[in-house]
Amino acid sequence: MAPSIKVGDTIPHGEFGYIPWAPELEDNLACGVPSKISTDDWKGKKVVLFSVPGAFTPTCHTNHLPPYLEKHAEFKAKGVDVVAVIAANDLFVMSGWARFEGCKDKILALSDANAKWSASLDLALDLTDRGMGVRTNRYAMIIDDLVVKYVEVEPAPGVTVSGADAVLAKL
């Protein structure tokens, strides 16, 4: 199914749970302070949002998030204010994954609980048959002042159109 959101559309309102980076999170026994971020917080900002089916899952963990972290300076040099990853995992899992990957304050790890926001854009992925329930699909967006400038969904397993290199090329 193709996403219902297209280039030129304004993104719908969404709220995501997350745990903001803080130095206390260097202690693996710290859990952080749960918070929320809204798409409204992206007004006037250039945002790169990429979505993965799950934290710590093989492709997401080794091939999707790491290049975004490695190329963070390149995104900033192209005027990106926010780089964020979303998944249907809860905010504590997203925070743990971001800490494990070394994201600190470079990449926001946002929880799209039950893939609610992604589903509203026809970007959810039903992995119930694999024991994973409904997840966020693997996709990427460039959002500038809440308007979609790029949106692509992976056509097959793997990372191509939603990867860091593909998104950098469209900035």
User: Is the predicted pLDDT of residue 1 greater than 70, yes or no?
Assistant: no
CA torsion 20-24-29-31 (nearest 10°) is -20
pLDDT score recorded for residue 134 = 67
β-strand 124-126 against 82-87: which pairing, if any?
unpaired
Alpha-carbon distance of 165 to 68, in angstroms, equals 8
- Does the annotation count 60 as an active-site position? yes
User: Is the predicted pLDDT of residue 132 greater than 80, yes or no?
Assistant: no
Alpha-carbon distance of 11 to 136, in angstroms, equals 16
Mean pLDDT of 6-32: 92
Q: What is the pLDDT of residues 136-154, one digit of tens each?
A: 888 999 999 999 999 999 8
Share of the chain above pLDDT 70, in %: 92
Catalytic residue among 19, 60, 151, 164: 60
Q: Which two tokens stand for residue 121?
A: 């854009």
Mean pLDDT of 109-137: 82
Alpha-carbon distance of 36 to 128, in angstroms, equals 27
pLDDT score recorded for residue 124 = 80
Q: Which domains does the chain have, with CATH numbers?
A: 15-170 (3.40.30.10)
